[in-house]
Amino acid sequence: MHIDHIGIAVKDLQQAIDTYKKILNRPCLKTETVESEKVETAFFQTGESKVELLGPTDSSSVIQKFIDKKGEGIHHVAFEVEDIKQEIKRLAGEGFTILNEQPKPGADNKLVAFLHPKDNHGVLVELCQTRSANEG
C-alpha cells in the first residue's frame, strides 16, 4: 500500500483550488463531481500521491456535516490497495469497523471503502483501488 491521496474538506472548492495552486505551484489535475456523495472534488498530483479537495454540493453532504462539526481540514487519508475486497475482509478480521462492507464507486476512477475513525486514532481511513473496465 501507498498513500494514494489526502482528502481535505473545504467550504469553497474554487477558493481552495486557487490556494493549493499557489501552495503546490502547479495546476489542478482535474475536478469531478460524485453525485452519490453530494461532493465535488479537485485533485492535485504531488509525486506518487495526490491532494483531494472536497467541497459539498448540498447541505446534506457528508462533507458539509464534517465542516459543520469540525471545520475545514483533513477529512481522510486514502491508501491504494491491490484487492479492496480482500483488504476489507482482512481488516474486518483484525477488528476494524468497516463503514461500507462492499466497495463503492468513488472519485478518480476508484472503488472505495472506509474504516471508522474510532479504530484509527481519530483518522478516517479510505481504502481505494483503481476500477477496471468491468467494475461499476
**Side-chain half-sphere of 25: how many Cα atoms within 13 Å?**
1
CB atoms within 10 A of CB 53: 26
108 in Cβ contact with 32 (< 8 Å): yes
pLDDT > 70? residue 118? yes
pTM: 0.92
Q: Tell me the per-residue pLDDT of 28-72, one tens digit each, with 9 for 90 and over.
A: 999 999 999 999 999 999 999 999 999 999 999 999 999 999 999
**What pLDDT does residue 119 have?**
96
As a whole number of angstroms, the distance between CA 54 and CA 95 comes to 29
User: Domain 2-130: what homologous superfamily?
Assistant: 2,3-Dihydroxybiphenyl 1,2-Dioxygenase, domain 1 (3.10.180.10)
Q: Tell me the per-residue pLDDT of 87-110, one tens digit each, with 9 for 90 and over.
A: 999 999 999 999 998 999 999 999
CB atoms within 10 A of CB 65: 13
pLDDT band for 133, please (50, 70, 90 cuts). Answer: low
Q: Which three cell numbers stand for residue 121?
A: 486514532
Residue with cell 481519530: 122
What is the β-pairing status of strands 104-106 and 73-80?
Answer: unpaired
Q: Which three cell numbers stand for residue 90?
A: 482482512
53 in Cβ contact with 17 (< 8 Å): yes
Cβ contacts of residue 6 below 8 Å, gap of 6+?
Answer: 49, 50, 51, 52, 74, 76, 77, 78
As a whole number of angstroms, the distance between CA 125 and CA 112 comes to 10
